[in-house]
Structure formats: structure tokens, C-alpha cells
């Protein structure tokens, strides 16, 4: 008998029928002899509908009230889910974020969890009840106000509950079967991974993979929570996201599905390929090649609120003493960053700005890169054979990313996926949904 | 500067535009220099939609979870209202039932208020904020669960807050201008009353008038809260519902709008005429005329859950030793009561049951009845001239009710309204809405 935390997203509880399907899944887990704690998101588009209402009554809704409003969405879904379970003959109790002891700081709309005191949840579990908790919300002790956790909040709720309750596993359900070696919509031969290390998962998520939120994976890594990413629509095993020292059914987890002893030998070099079309590139042309210019520029960009990802500065032409600096950032941040830079053109002394939103980023991720050489050579060779031009390169200890033309991204991903021996034998699009 | 509690029902906050209109009204009250506490219902049909969802996932929703679900409706409307006020430049804070200190017993779906500890509301008022409270909901201290107050809950929330905060007045807004001498849809010449005593209001509400809920009026009477029933859609004065010893702007309130000294002289004998088409009549034919039979019968009816209103037993025919007993009850309760009685036919020994749902009840209410004679004579005479047959009669200290054919009810009400000199000079349907 284990304690299992499960998280169901908005699409899994979009209507009455879906809620009943999820209720059955929870009941099946209980029937198998496990204690179950569920974190649930708001139904389908509820959050967007509430946001829309808010914008109709107030151009800039007061943050405290916006959190009060949005937190009602999970209250609806969790109560319905508890009722559905109840009517199947099982005791179920729903708890709001504050009832569940999800204590956060006071940053409305983007609160961070500071403590989890699940006293009432433990009581309910001890009494044999299935526990349903509102995802995405908490409360602040000082203001006694309700807060929301922001993007990926429900995943984080689930992981935080799993950590506080010392659950055996945190199952995160979505409409895809697990973590794939690439996005199956881009690379049809992508394979579902049986397991992946949390550091690889973080790199994939940070570079375009959308199945799990970085924040939840980070929380899980820090608190030693084993995540199992799986599908609401199938009973098959999904993907385990494991960290240092984690065990499942008493066995230590390692990469590649091998056991602890054979692990190193069987470890794949590359875990997956991530693709990202959400970025834009800004090139600053004719920057005086004197010390401190880069710092000056990126201070301006940072103050505009943009999150810079890759940066490249070319060698200055000795004749002119001018260099070009390119960087990437989310498309949504580009306009603000461009405006901020233009406003400081005279001061910085650059010649012009070029904005390019037709780019794609391809990243190859794998802990095997630490110990294996030649990983980047394989990447560059594959792209070169395909005639794909590399515009920028950035690397971390376990990742290589390249910037290419957006139109080339899908083909590049398929070729690189093949080059690293990641291709499966069947078409993955049959198994995986179309993202969430 | 006064402390004013305002209550807005679901139709007053049905959409974004309505919410903004209500926000403006609240801000106007604040601008006039008053402290404002608002109790608000869920938007429009939200509660019905949530109930519908509940019934889709569970045939008999668990009561605790149903309250968790339904209480989210007010959380939405109150947050939107607070945002709308905020965006008009005024500080506004919303509070759930539990945050507002609305403490109830644990009867889910029909909880009674046992205490109100509005500590956070007082803090917010002291800080100059407008306070918005979720109507209809509270929480139980022992179970720490959320409860709902049932029918008329938001009116009761408002009155309970007014009592606990010692507010100067509790304004209950709806889509009608106030309390009328009769339902303007039935009696077009009905007049809006400037004031009415709470005991008259209770009798009118109990006999078909729908503007205020009995429960809220009772609470107000018991705790000395002055109610002002008025329209969301007009700035005119509505109707004050006053009780013994209540004052407004330092002046003691009395009936009829006169001041304290002249009150008795100007007091109208009849405050209003109530009509009710929601009842059915059951007649039990051939009941053995022996002691204890009535008790036996009404114990059976009570156990069926029916609320009996009027009862008439005719004189037994000496020859047969059998009597007929008729009683009225809500149409919705009739089927269950009939089934219960049939099940005990042999035991009670009656001959047959007659069910009649084509009846109407006309009630005349006025505290003047205590001191004036001839009130019933006026009623009977008016009905007799109109050729309306009276089927049953019941009276209280300040009310006379008669049962007539449902088809005769509207005409009877108009004639009686005229006979008591209640007619206004203009058509009231222009001023009043069509009920709420």
C-alpha cells in the first residue's frame, strides 16, 4: 500500500463525463489498496472565462481580487470530482488551498509556496477518505488572503503535496502518454521514454518541451519527489522523472531503464530533442567594440522585462571597430525590448536593430554528454548533411542548442533524432495526443 | 456618516455591465460619506448551472461537496464586484463567508447562523475599504467545513452582518421598487409602501409576497435591524421594514409614515393584500368523528415532510358520525402527502381523498386589525358582491386569509384592495418590475 498523489489538468476534467472518467480512475487506484491525494485544475476553459469576465469589469483587475476570482475555478472542479467519487461509494473530501495548508508568500498571481501543512489532509487520509485538493492556489498567513501560484500551478501543487506527505509517487496526468524523445507532432518517430532524469527533464522543458512545467520538476528535484507523467486516457505506464537517490518499489532508479549496477553501460547519451518556435531574434548592428557595451545593452533589455536566452557577439571588424550582437528572447517580449533599445540608441551608440521572428531552436539534451565526447559533432554533421544553416549555438553541461531557420526546424529535428539513434519503430503520433 | 449594509441579488449582478452598475451605486454611497458593507449573491443563473453540473456527476451529491461547489458562485461575483469598485478608484476587499466570520451549524444546504465574528470586516472598514462579502455561505467551527444557508441565504447574510456590525440600515436591493400593498402584476393599482412593520411584512411574506425572505425579516426583527427594500434600477426611496424601537436619522419609526406622536391616528388598518397560487388543497372525506383522529392524520402528513397551512374540519353529520377534513399545503408537497395518507387509509378509517390544485389564497394583513373592528366584514362583503365563493378561512392576530378558486384570485385581490382604500392613483406596473 502506497500513498499516491495524482494531478489532473483542466482538459481531464473539462465536463461532467470527463470528471466521471477521472473519478473512476481515482477509485481504481484506491481499490488497488493505495491512499490517494488528488490535485485538480479548473474545468476546461474556466480560468480563461473568469479572466475574460475580470477584464470586462476592470481594465487592470486588483491582484488580490483576481486571485479570489480565479481560485473559484478549482473549487468547482474539486467539489464535482469529490461528489462523483462519493456517488461511486467511496468517501472523498475536497479541500481548498488554504484548507490543505498550502502556505505561500503574498505575491498575488505568482505566489511561491513557503510551507505545506497538510494537517487536515492527513486526518482525512487516516479516516480512509480520498483527498481532493484545489490545484493552483494557496493562502498567505500574514494577509490571510487567497493566492494563486501562476503558470504550472497545479503541477506544483501536486508535487508540493507529494513532498509534504512523503508520497511514494506523484502522478501527473495529461492527454499524452508521457515524456517523448521529441515532440511527436514534429518527429513522428519519437519514442516514449520509460524514465528520464530530472535534470534532463528541466533542460527539455526549458527548451520547448511542454508536458511538464519546469517549476514542478524543480520542486520535485529539490524535495526528492518521483514524478510519473502519464495519460488520463490510457492505463499504460508513462515516464518516470527521477532524481539522485530516488527509489521505486524499493529499487534505486537510474537512467535508461537498467538497474543500478548496469546503469552506466546502458545509459543513452542523448535523452531527447526539444524544438521551440516561440522565440525571436534581435540583432544589434554596429555596436562600438569597447568594454562594458554588452553589459549596458543587456541591462536595458533586462529592465524592459524580457528574458534573454541565447547571446552571440561576432568578432569586430578591425577596420570599423564595430561589432554585431544577436540574442534570442520570447516573441511576446520582443516589441518591448526593441522599444527599450531604440530609446537608448544614441547613448549606446549602435547603428540599427534587426528583428527576426522566423527562427527555430533545436536542443539536444542528455546527461551522457558529461562523459561522452563527440556529441556535438554528431549534431553538426547531421545538420550539415541536410544543408541546415546554424545561426547561433549555446551549450550547457548536458545540452547543445542551435538556432536555425524556423522553416528548417522540423526537418532538422527529425534528422538529428535519427542521428542519435532515438527513432522508435512505430509512428508515435498514434500514441501521443496533440500536446496540452 | 452611517454604516450601511447593502445586499444585491443574482439578477443585479447577472453580467459584467450589471456588476459595473452595482459598483457605481456602491461607490456613490461611499462618496456620500458612508461606510459600506455589501453582501452579494452569485451571478444570474450560476447557482442553477452549478446544481445542474452536480446532478450530472452524482445522482445525490454529497452535501458537504455541494456546499463547497455552490459557495464558489458568490466567490466569483464578489471578486468581480470588488475589482469593478477598485477600478473606480476606491479600495474594496472581498471576503468569503468564513473570512467574514459567518459561523453556522453544520447542516449543509440549510445551515443556521450561530455567530458572526466580523473581525476582518471591521479591520477593513477601519482602513477605509469598502467590504464585499459572499452571501449565502458560512462555515462550521467544529468540522471546519464550508456551509450554505439555503433559500434566502444572501438576504439573511446581509441582515446578520448589519446586526453584528450594528449598521444603521440594511438595504436589500432587487428589481422592484420596494414593498407594495399587493403584487402589482395582480393588482395594477397597488401602491408602494413607504414603511411597513416587520410583523406585517412577515405575514405578507408567509402568505405569498416575494420581495423579502421571511427568514431575513425574522432575523432583522429579532436583532433590531432596520431593512430598506429598494430597487437596483432607481435611486428613489424604497420601503422601510421597521420594528419596535427602531429609529432612522434619530427619529423613531412608526407605521404609516407619520411621526411618533401622530402615528396612531394615521395608522392604516390594512398594510397590504397578499395572493398565493402555490398551494393545493387536500380533502379527507368520511373521517370517523372520534377524538384524536385529526392528530392521527396530521402526524402522518407531517412525517411525509409537508408543511400544512390552513385546516378546516366541517361539522359531522350526526346520522353518519363522519366528518370531512380539508387542509392546504405547497403544491410540491401534495403528491407525497397523498401517498402517505393512502398508505394509512385502513388504519385511519377515512373514505376517500380529494386533491384540488386550482385554489388561490387571498390574505389581508395589518397591525390595525388589533384595534379596529369590522376588518373581516369589509373583506367578506367585497368578495360577496363580486360573487367569489370562500372555501376556507384562517386568521391570525393581524391577518385574515381566505381560500378561493384560483381563477377568481386576481379579481378578488383587486376588489379587496379597493375596498380597503389601498388603491394608488397610478398604475404600479410602470414602476415595479415583474418580481424577482
Domain chopping of chain B, boundaries? 3-264
Q: Are A256 and A266 in contact (CB under 8 A)?
A: yes
End-to-end CA distance of chain B: 31
Residue B261: per-residue pLDDT: 38
Cβ A54–B93 below 8 Å, yes or no?
no
Q: Give this prediction's pTM.
A: 0.85
Cβ A62–B84 below 8 Å, yes or no?
no
Tell me the range of A230-239, A376-385, B66-75 where mean pLDDT is highest: B66-75
Please name the member of B19, B53, B78 whose beta carbon is closest to the beta carbon of A80. Answer: B53
* Weakest mean pLDDT among A183-187, B46-50, B313-317: B313-317
ipTM above 0.85, yes or no: no
Sheet of B359-365: strand order equals: B272-276, B359-365, B399-405, B392-396
Phi first, then psi, for residue A183 (nearest 5°) are -70, 115
* Helix residue ranges per DSSP H, B88-197: 119-126, 153-164
A/B interface, count of CB pairs below 8 Å:
121
Going A104 to A110 to A112 to A117, the CA torsion angle's sign is positive
Residue of B nearest to A24 (CA): B57
How does residue B430 score in pLDDT terms, banded at 50, 70 and 90? low
Residue of A nearest to B78 (CA): A69
The CATH fold of domain B3-264: Carbamate kinase (3.40.1160)
Q: Which of A72, A75, A81, A48 is nearest to A232 (CA)?
A: A81
pLDDT at B426 over 60: yes
Please name the member of B57, B60, B94 whose beta carbon is closest to the beta carbon of A19. Answer: B57
Which residues of B fall within a CB distance of 8 Å from A122?
Answer: none
How does residue A173 score in pLDDT terms, banded at 50, 70 and 90? very high
Phi first, then psi, for residue A135 (nearest 5°) are -75, 170
- Probe site for chain A from B82, B83, B123 (most A CB atoms < 10 A): B83
- DSSP secondary structure string for all residues of A286-353: EEE--TTHHHHHHHHHHHTT-----EEEPPPBTTTTEEEEEEEEEHHHHHHHHHHHHHTHHHHT--EE
Q: Measured between CA atoms, how close is A111 to chain B, in angstroms?
A: 18
How does residue A168 score in pLDDT terms, banded at 50, 70 and 90? very high
Secondary structure of residue B4 in the 3-state scheme: strand
Residue of B nearest to A73 (CA): B72
Q: Are A240 and A195 in contact (CB under 8 A)?
A: yes
Residue B420: CB atoms within 10 A of its CB come to 22
Task: Take residue A16 and report the three cell numbers written for it.
Answer: 461532467
Going A160 to A161 to A163 to A169, the CA torsion angle's sign is negative
To which residue does cell 376556507 refer? B392
Residue B267: per-residue pLDDT: 55
Residue of B nearest to A93 (CA): B65
Give the whole-angstrom CA distance, residue A26 versus residue A18.
Answer: 12
Q: Residue B311's beta-bridge partner residues?
A: B327
Give the whole-angstrom CA distance, residue A197 versus residue A185.
Answer: 23
Percent of chain B with pLDDT over 70: 93
- Probe site for chain A from B80, B119, B130 (most A CB atoms < 10 A): B80
CA A55 distance to own-chain centroid: 27
Taking an 8 Å Cβ-Cβ cutoff, which residues of chain B contact chain A? 16, 19-20, 23, 50, 53-54, 56-62, 64-66, 68-69, 71-73, 75-76, 78-84, 86-87, 92-94, 99, 120, 144
Residue B358: per-residue pLDDT: 95
Cβ B120–A144 below 8 Å, yes or no?
yes
User: What is the per-residue pLDDT across B149-174, written as a single tens digit (0 to 9) for each?
Assistant: 988 899 999 999 999 999 999 999 99
Please name the member of A16, A69, A82 whose beta carbon is closest to the beta carbon of B53. Answer: A16
User: What is the per-residue pLDDT across B325-360, written as a single tens digit (0 to 9) for each?
Assistant: 999 999 999 999 999 999 999 999 999 999 999 999
Q: Residue A228's beta-bridge partner residues?
A: A171, A240
Task: Take residue A230 and report the three cell numbers written for it.
Answer: 502519464
Which residues of B fall within a CB distance of 8 Å from A90?
Answer: none
User: What is the per-residue pLDDT across B9-18, written as a single tens digit (0 to 9) for each?
Assistant: 999 999 999 9
Q: Are A77 and A40 in contact (CB under 8 A)?
A: yes
Residue A396: per-residue pLDDT: 87
How far, in Å, are B337, B344, B351 from residue B347 at the CA level?
16, 5, 11
Give the 3-state DSSP-derived string for A127-163, with helices as H, strands as E and coil as C.
CCCEEEEECCEEEECCCCCEEECCCCHHHHHHHHHHH
Task: Take residue B310 and report the three cell numbers written for it.
Answer: 390552513
Residue A264: per-residue pLDDT: 45
- Those residues with Cβ within 8 angstroms of residue A349's Cβ, 6 or more apart along the chain or in another chain: A287, A288
How far, in Å, are B79, B81, B262 from residue B40 at the CA level?
10, 9, 38
pLDDT averaged over every residue in chain A: 90
Please name the member of A20, A57, A75 whose beta carbon is closest to the beta carbon of B75. Answer: A75
Cβ A86–B65 below 8 Å, yes or no?
yes
User: What is the per-residue pLDDT across B226-239, written as a single tens digit (0 to 9) for each?
Assistant: 999 999 988 899 99
Amino acid at each position: 500500500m502506497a500513498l499516491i498523489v495524482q494531478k489532473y489538468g483542466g482538459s481531464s476534467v473539462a465536463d461532467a463525463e470527463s470528471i466521471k472518467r477521472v473519478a473512476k480512475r481515482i477509485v481504481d487506484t484506491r481499490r488497488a489498496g493505495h491512499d490517494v491525494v488528488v490535485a485538480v485544475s479548473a474545468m476546461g476553459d474556466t480560468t480563461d472565462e473568469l479572466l475574460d469576465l475580470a477584464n470586462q469589469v476592470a481594465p487592470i483587475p486588483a491582484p488580490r481580487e483576481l486571485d479570489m476570482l480565479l481560485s473559484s475555478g478549482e473549487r468547482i472542479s474539486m467539489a464535482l470530482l469529490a461528489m462523483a467519487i462519493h456517488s461511486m461509494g467511496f468517501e472523498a473530501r475536497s479541500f481548498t488551498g488554504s484548507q490543505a495548508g498550502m502556505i505561500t508568500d503574498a505575491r498575488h498571481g505568482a505566489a511561491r509556496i513557503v510551507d505545506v501543512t497538510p494537517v487536515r489532509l492527513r486526518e482525512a487520509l487516516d479516516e480512509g477518505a480520498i483527498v481532493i485538493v484545489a490545484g493552483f492556489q494557496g493562502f498567505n498567513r500574514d494577509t490571510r488572503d487567497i493566492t494563486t501560484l501562476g503558470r504550472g500551478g497545479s503541477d506544483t501543487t501536486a508535487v508540493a503535496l507529494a513532498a509534504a506527505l512523503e508520497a511514494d509517487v506523484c502522478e501527473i496526468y495529461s492527454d499524452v502518454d508521457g515524456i517523448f524523445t521529441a515532440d511527436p507532432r514534429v518527429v513522428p518517430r519519437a519514442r516514449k521514454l520509460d524514465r528520464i532524469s530530472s535534470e534532463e527533464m528541466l533542460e527539455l522543458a526549458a527548451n520547448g518541451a511542454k508536458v511538464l512545467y519546469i517549476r514542478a520538476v524543480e520542486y520535485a528535484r529539490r524535495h526528492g519527489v518521483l514524478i510519473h507523467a502519464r495519460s488520463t486516457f490510457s492505463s499504460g505506464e508513462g515516464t518516470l522523472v527521477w532524481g539522485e537517490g530516488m527509489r521505486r518499489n524499493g529499487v534505486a532508479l537510474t537512467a535508461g531503464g537498467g538497474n543500478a549496477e548496469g546503469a552506466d553501460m546502458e545509459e543513452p547519451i542523448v535523452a531527447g530533442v526539444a524544438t521551440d518556435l516561440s522565440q525571436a531574434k534581435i540583432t544589434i548592428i554596429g555596436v562600438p567594440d569597447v568594454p562594458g557595451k554588452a553589459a549596458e545593452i543587456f541591462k536595458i533589455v533586462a529592465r524592459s522585462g524580457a528574458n534573454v536566452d541565447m547571446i552571440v557577439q561576432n568578432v569586430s571588424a578591425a577596420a570599423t571597430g564595430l561589432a554585431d550582437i544577436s540574442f534570442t528572447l520570447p516573441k511576446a517580449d520582443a516589441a518591448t525590448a526593441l522599444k527599450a533599445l531604440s530609446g537608448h540608441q544614441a547613448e549606446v551608440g549602435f547603428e540599427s536593430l534587426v528583428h527576426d521572428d522566423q527562427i527555430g531552436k533545436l536542443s539536444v539534451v542528455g546527461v551522457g554528454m558529461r562523459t561522452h565526447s563527440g556529441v556535438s559533432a554528431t549534431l553538426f554533421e547531421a545538420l550539415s548533411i541536410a544543408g541546415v544553416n546554424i545561426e547561433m549555438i549555446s551549450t550547457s553541461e548536458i545540452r547543445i542548442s542551435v538556432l536555425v531557420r524556423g522553416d528548417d526546424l522540423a526537418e532538422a529535428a527529425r534528422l538529428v533524432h535519427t542521428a542519435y539513434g532515438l527513432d522508435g519503430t512505430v509512428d508515435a503520433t498514434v500514441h501521443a495526443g496533440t500536446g496540452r
